[in-house]
Structure 1
């Protein structure tokens, strides 16, 4: 066999290996969709000595980064059923980056004993609207729930 054929064969094998490796890397780097995960809500009723609170936390991720997370708590016993458009004007959680594409978002609401007395007892839902830095949004009508007790 001539040296040219051997060299050409080796160059071809190396080139094919490089293309295959490039395709493997490209397939593992697919765009990450906007997600809201690990959501939890905790309601603590007020006492004579201390205000009550609702604390909601969630991990929000997108390959472009996280711009915001809007949060709305509402009683299941109501007729309220928020839409994505309505969620644009509610309060935002505080989001802190935990990596280039993920943030831990926390929403805290304090309630005095008088304010808590006006809350409907029972199950409450939390709706969220996440917005990524590239403008993508993800609306989740029932991200989490908690129970208001007296």
Structure 2
């Protein structure tokens, strides 16, 4: 066997080994869920008809999405929710749109009496996404909306 063939074979084996090792590292690298295209919309109650707050987002993770917890809070407050606190918040409804992605929507009806007790101005929507593999992503300001009566 010539030296050229042996050297070429060794280079090929090293290259394949590097590709395989890189693939294993890439495949085993954990990734947290992503929350994208999020939006919040508030509609004030009118003449006995309830208004609503609606939050929507696209949530993605390689293992799929288990849930998305949502909390709206006024900027004027001292509230700064944490991921631990959001674990106990209300869940959005998530609909699978692909192997890794879900479209999640959260809707909260708001009555006139409730609206009367809420501070006007800028509000934030915080979210906590949890993947099927247990990884999480906390977004303290995933979206904003303006609350008016």
CA distance in 2 between partners of 1:83 and 1:19 (Å): 45
CA distance in 1 between partners of 2:118 and 2:108 (Å): 13
Question: What's the secondary structure of 2:107's corresponding residue?
Answer: strand
Per-residue deviation, 1:19:
4.1
| Residue in 2 that maps onto 1:127 | 126
RMSD of equivalent CA atoms: 2.9
Per-residue deviation, 1:114:
1.4
| Residue in 1 that maps onto 2:58 | 59
Per-residue deviation, 1:49:
5.0
Structure 1, 105-114 or 43-52: larger mean CA deviation:
43-52
| Residue in 1 that maps onto 2:97 | 98
| Residue in 2 that maps onto 1:137 | 136
Give structure 1 regions of 4+ aligned residues with deviation exceeding 6 angstroms: none
CA distance in 2 between partners of 1:48 and 1:124 (Å): 23
Per-residue deviation, 1:90:
0.7
Say whether the 8 Å CA contact 2:48–2:112 is kept in structure 1. Answer: no
Q: Which stretches in structure 2 are left out of the alignment for 5+ residues? A: none
CA distance in 2 between partners of 1:40 and 1:122 (Å): 17
Matches within 5 A, 1:36-51: 36-51=35-50
TM-score (norm 2): 0.82
| Residue in 1 that maps onto 2:110 | 111
Q: Which stretches in structure 1 are left out of the alignment for 5+ residues? A: none
Give the length in aligned residue pairs: 147
Per-residue deviation, 1:50:
2.2
Per-residue deviation, 1:40:
0.3
| Residue in 1 that maps onto 2:70 | 71
Question: What's the secondary structure of 2:84's corresponding residue?
Answer: helix
